[in-house]
Amino acid sequence: MEYSINKLSKMSGISTRTLRYYDEIALLKPVRVASSGYRIYGRKEIDTLQQILFYKELGFSLDKIKKFLTAPDFDMETAFNHHLVELLNQRERLDGLIDNVKKSLAAIKGEITMSDKEKFAAFAQRLVDENERKYGAEIRAKYGDGTVDASNERVRGITKEQYERAKRLNTKFEETLKSAFATGDPAGELAQKACELHKQWLCIFYPNYSKEYHLGLGELYISDERFKTNYEKLAAGCTEFFREAINVFCKE
């Protein structure tokens, strides 16, 4: 069965403007264009749009989705299995948060006693799950299961004070790194201060910190686009600058 762009829009809830944009960026092209000028979509395009919506729901950018869908080894069944795992993980995270809220309400009413660690447990687990989802495979391949598992246990046991300190450190680190990048000197005082702040942040989550580990992260930030994107948001070229700053910091 084939659908005009208007029918596909009504069925999927995606505006015709968005569908035209997907065509322009070669993310979802119609099977053909009718003599009337309307885009026509077939079964394959319907399945592709479904995949796009699943990936968007899981938080992936359109660029990433396009790479997934155009990869030579892309397989529909494998993709659905991935979606299922990710959605089940999301449900588990939501269940944890719901349970936390219920316990908190019961504690407010005086029905139960809730420790500070229990109040924070669901949020700590969420940090672990998100980190595993985004970077787990790469980090485990590079540093081994033991290091990653130890880090995850550290995060699960993190206190509210430690979490708040980590957030403050990260904010200060990003501000300092951005200012350091403007100087153009990875060996300068500001760049080295940024590395020290980064080290302090790492030590909260990674119990086995070492200079070798820090150096390895610098290389990983360069080679993995997902890491690189975080620093390029601060300034174009900031990732390589930070890697050079880490090299200076760890070799002193």
What is the crossing angle of helices 145-156 and 116-143, to 10°?
Answer: 170
DSSP-based three-state secondary structure for 4: strand
Residue with tokens 């991935």: 82
By CB neighbour count within 10 A (0-12 exposed, 13-18 middle, 19+ buried), where does 135 fall? middle
Phi-psi region at 29: left, alpha or beta (left = phi > 0; alpha = psi -120 to 50): beta
Mean pLDDT of the residues in the chain: 85
DSSP-based three-state secondary structure for 216: helix
Reading the block at residue 52, the tokens are: 């796009």
pLDDT digits (tens, 9 = 90+) for 158-173: 777 887 888 899 999 9
pTM: 0.48
* Domain residue limits, the chain: 3-70, 76-156, 160-251
As beta bridge partners, residue 3 has 41
41, 8 Cβ separation under 8 angstroms: yes
Give me the sheet containing 3-4, strands edge to edge. Answer: 3-4, 39-41, 32-33
Q: How would you label 49-68 residue by residue, b for 16+ Cβ within 10 Å and e otherwise?
A: bebbebbeeeeeeeeebbee
> What CATH topology corresponds to 3-70?
Multidrug-efflux Transporter Regulator; Chain: A; Domain 2 (1.10.1660)
**The total number of residues written for the chain in this structure:** 252
Q: Report how far residue 180's alpha carbon sits from residue 189's, in angstroms, rounded to the nearest whole number.
A: 8
> What CATH topology corresponds to 160-251?
Globin-like (1.10.490)
221, 239 Cβ separation under 8 angstroms: yes
Q: Report how far residue 48's alpha carbon sits from residue 31's, in angstroms, rounded to the nearest whole number.
A: 12
Q: Distance between alpha carbon 24 and the CA centroid of its chain, in Å?
A: 26
> pLDDT tens digits, the chain, 252 residues: what are they?
899 999 999 999 999 999 999 999 999 999 999 988 899 999 999 999 999 999 998 888 899 899 999 999 999 898 888 888 888 877 877 777 777 778 778 877 888 776 656 666 666 666 667 666 665 666 677 667 776 676 666 666 677 788 788 889 999 999 999 999 999 999 999 999 999 999 999 888 776 788 988 998 898 888 877 778 888 989 999 999 999 999 999 987
pLDDT digits (tens, 9 = 90+) for 59-72: 888 998 999 999 99
